[in-house]
Chain A
Amino acid sequence: MIKQWDIQLMVIPALLLIFVFSYIPMYGVLMAFQDYNLFEGFWASPWVGFKHFSMFFHSPEFWSIIRNTIIISLLKFVIGFPAPIFLALVLNEVRHMAFKRVIQTVSYLPHFLSWVIVAGFTMSILSTDNGSLNILLQKLHLINEPVGFLGKAEYFWGILVSTNVWKEIGFGSIVYLAAIAGINPSLYEAAAMDGAGRIKQIFMITIPSIIPVISIFMILAIGNLLSAGFEDILLLGSNPVLRDVANVIDTYVYRVGITNQRYSYATAVGLFKAVISVGMLTFANMFARRSGNSLW
């Protein structure tokens, strides 16, 4: 080891950083089982077992948080996951290369914007204060008065899912487009010979050919299924009127942990989510392995 000090010098400082910023926090998760006291620190704080977990399970907000987390993540999964696949299939049918390139360039762009900017655009378009959507709907005589979309609980989930699709649909389609580009063209020629139209070719060749890529990304998405989102909900759901539909596990952890400084309790809630997520990932992979496309 002394002989190779120069190579060790390349990796040891980096490993130290990983240790400090990844491993120490992992160890710190144990404070979910403590009454962590900032002044006494991790070592001196008393151990309390599952107290914080049971407090969370019995808290009045528990069911609405679980409901919102599950519904928002399911909506995002059911609509947000197939959307890029759909876009890739549609883009693949475009024969004008210039048009295709313009649409791709435009659709990738929102991925590179921060949620602050995207939320800003959303608020501007949906605003009662001459927001474009209200102007459009009034011109079409569908509504008489401007609607405060962002101040109404019933619209919140729809807005959240739409903005997520808006932001990520283009970028998400890249991998599927690449997978489609790798399909052997002779398959299409053979299908055309057999008299299959383009719609039939999509269902008989394109989609089956990209199933392996789809299932890998689906497993990854299932592992994140409980991550209903954080930045988007925090920014778009800041209106107190929306609390009942916008409160999810991650925003709850932020609110009780950072804002109210209940460190142990917030850590317990976060750990509860992490454990379930790992469980779901394992479960999803088990299914995928049966179909022959597993991640590990």
Chain B
Amino acid sequence: MHSKSFGDRMLDVFVYGFLILLGFSTFYPFWNGLVISLNDGMDTALGGITFWPRKWSLENYYVVFRDNRIMNAFMVSVARTALGTILSVLCTAIFAYGMTKKELVGRKFYMVMCIVTMYFGGGLIPTFLVIRGLGLMNTFWVFIIPGLISVWNMIIFRTFFMGLPDGLEESAKIDGCGNWSTFFRIILPLSGPVIATLGLFTAVAHWNEWFLPSIYITNEKLLPIQSMLQQILSTNIMTEQMSKLDSAAQSRMTAMKSVTTKSLSMATMMVATLPIIAVYPFVQKYFVKGVLVGSLKE
């Protein structure tokens, strides 16, 4: 029984070999990015920076942290993520609690109205025109209001609330609580795990969004970090393209400049990734549960 067959041993070799390769290829880009951001920009230009910095330097980070535009964009992202997540989770939870009430007049109709939006949408252009028509372009609120209610999250909240014992609400009623105070005093404090899960996903989505801001926001003071990073990276590519076309001497100059841009954009990328890497170990145990909560509905 315990003597492994040839096939089983081959399987082990394959399994561990494959997973080590996968782990390495996932980890390496982060590591290499970090190393480049910690290496002297001019030295990086000479090439060969892979696993370890050759010429340590914090200069890239000094430049990034002293750059008002980047720091401002970082703060816009922080503000948007904090406010957007709190308001969205709270409003969606209130909505979901209301939808659990059997006596709610119009409940079936409301539910159908919600579910339809999960299958049909207006698409990019009509949505863009609505946002524009409401005067939300170039305002901070364009980050918060359109995403305030998530139907998907509402359904997960609702399922969770319906799983709570009925006795809880009844005893709160007897003690004189109305629906709102029952929600805030009894239901919300009991919803820790589901709030953590949905809060995490909402926060990550807020932090990572770059495309909508790039079409809704033209005022640079309101641009979040990911959109800012996208601009930095795309100008970086342009320099690399240009350096090939130019004459030898010029290309040398542009190459030097582009390499410095490379170190700077790596440092900016690290700064933009930092919040996610920082919270990731703490919330990991929640999100696996969260994914399964979500997939049960399907």
Contacts and interface: CB of A to CB of B under 8 A. Distances in A.
Contacts of B95: 10-11, 14
Interface in B21-55: 22-23, 25-30, 32-33, 36, 44-45, 47-50
B130 A20 contact: yes
A149 interface: no
Contacts of A271: 123
14 contacts: A4-B103, A18-B149, A22-B117, A22-B121, A90-B19, A105-B284, A114-B207, A129-B255, A130-B47, A130-B49, A132-B50, A178-B292, A263-B125, A278-B119
A279 interface: no
Interface in A1-31: 1, 4, 6-11, 13-15, 17-29, 31
A73 interface: no
Given A114-B210, A199-B11, A17 B240 contact: no
Contact of A8 (B27, B104, B295): B104
B109 to A, nearest CB: 10
A15 B236 CA distance: 44
Contacts of A94: 15-16, 19
A112 B280 contact: yes
Contacts of A21: 127, 130, 146
A121 B265 CA distance: 10
Contact of B130 (A6, A28, A107, A166): A28
A19 B117 CA distance: 9
A127 interface: yes
Given A21-B127, A107-B23, 5 more contacts: A25-B129, A29-B122, A94-B19, A121-B30, A216-B298
A267 interface: yes
Instruction: Report which residue of A7, A103, A197, A278 has the largest number of chain B beta carbons within 10 angstroms of its beta carbon.
Output: A7
Interface stretch (A53-61, A62-70, A74-82, A230-238): A230-238
A128 interface: yes
A135 B47 contact: yes
A205 interface: no
A240 B58 CA distance: 35
Nearest to A253: B124
Sorted nearest first, the 8 A-B pairs with minimum C-beta distance are A25-B122, A10-B98, A28-B126, A114-B208, A14-B95, A130-B47, A25-B126, A121-B29
B234 interface: yes
Contacts, number: 254
A174 B125 contact: no
A127 B117 CA distance: 42
A116 B226 CA distance: 7
A257 B291 CA distance: 34
Interface stretch (B63-71, B166-174, B266-274): B266-274
B288 A14 contact: no
Contacts of A23: 117
A258 B23 contact: no
Interface residues of B, number: 105
A130 B46 CA distance: 8
Interface string A182-222: 00000000001000011100000000000000001000100
Nearest to A22: B117
Interface in B217-231: 226-227, 229-230
Nearest to A11: B98
A94 B99 CA distance: 44
B249 interface: no
B85 to A, nearest CB: 14
Interface string B139-161: 00000011011010010000000
Interface of B: 1, 5, 7-8, 11-12, 14-16, 18-19, 22-23, 25-30, 32-33, 36, 44-45, 47-50, 91-92, 94-95, 97-99, 101, 103-106, 110, 113-114, 117, 119-130, 134, 145-146, 148-149, 151, 154, 178-180, 183, 204, 207-211, 215, 226-227, 229-230, 233-234, 236-237, 240-241, 244, 255, 258-259, 262, 265-266, 269, 272-273, 276-277, 280-281, 284, 287-288, 291-292, 295, 298
B211 A231 contact: yes
A204 to B, nearest CB: 13
B272 A26 contact: no
A103 B22 CA distance: 8
B179 A6 contact: yes
A174 B292 contact: yes
A118 B241 CA distance: 20
A178 B297 CA distance: 15
B98 A7 contact: yes
Contact of B123 (A125, A220, A235, A270): A270
A87 B19 CA distance: 8
A286 interface: no
Contacts of B207: 114
Contact of A6 (B26, B91, B180, B277): B180
A258 B124 contact: yes
Nearest to B6: A197
Interface in A244-296: 253-254, 257-258, 263, 266-267, 270-271, 274, 278, 295
